[in-house]
Structure 1
């Protein structure tokens, strides 16, 4: 890895079934992640993916690029929701650029988007180079 390198973008299809599975695994059964009426009643456009699920997709991309054992740090802010349709899928895209390499560690700047909108703010990863 060298500063300026771009990493092959990854795309992940997200379905309502994925949200149910994530809720079961994480214990986060907030109905905004499964019920359109509840989501809309609190001002959301519809059912949204869990923020941590979206972050996990970014982690999956970093792991695909570098190997899970190489990931040292991952962070982001949750800025925009991923609205998941009742039928079909929505795509989350993860792109990355090597910002720096120093002392055997590479810092990756990530861009995580859904339908062209950034859904994670300032996502970055630090990996063993």
Structure 2
């Protein structure tokens, strides 16, 4: 994959939406990798007992999936200089063959004088906005 070049990007350009599937198995794998074994991410009975509709994806898992849009777009996972989000709703992951989906899109907010661009991200699941104020600053070739 070739790296995206600064001169090839314009302010206002959109990054095409991508949809990432989320299954319970993904949450178990993420828990093992991250060490976050909070039962709200794998135990339906526990999640419901604390007022959640069902098991929910880890916030950092959701953030990482949105970040994939950026790193795939730039062609370089090392291009991310800054990345921040606010979690606005959980990604509810039912225990069925479908699971959930996170749909992520982006738009170039600005080209900065230091060779970076600022990208605003949108992320939705089941019609709800799951990330708010999501932005990434990336250094392009």
Q: What TM-score does the superposition give when structure 1 sets the normalisation length? A: 0.97
Secondary structure, aligned partner of 1:40: helix
Match of 2:23 among 9, 15, 18: 15
The question of 1:95 aligning with 2:109 is answered no
- Write the distance in 1 (CA, Å) between the matches of 2:45 and 2:127: 26
Aligned with residue 76 of structure 1, among 69, 78, 85:
85
Which residue among 108, 112, 117 is the counterpart of 2:119?
A: 108
Query: Which residue of 2 is the match for residue 124 of structure 1?
Result: 135
Q: Deviations over 1:25-51 (max 9, x none)?
A: 000000000011100000000000000
Which residue is equivalent to 1:86?
95
Distance 1:14 1:49 in 2: 8
Structure 1 runs (4+) greater than 3 angstroms displaced:
none
Q: Distance in 2 between matches of 1:90 and 1:31?
A: 18
1:76-110 deviation per Cα after TM superposition (whole angstroms, max 9, x unaligned)? 01110000010122110110000000121100000
- Which of the pair has more CA radius of gyration? 2
The correspondence for 1:26, drawn from 34, 37, 55, is 34
Structure 2: gaps spanning 5 or more residues: 1-8
3-state DSSP class of the match of 1:119? strand
Q: How far apart are 1:69 and its partner, in Å?
A: 2.1
TM-score (structure 2 length as normaliser):
0.89
> How many correspondences in the alignment?
129
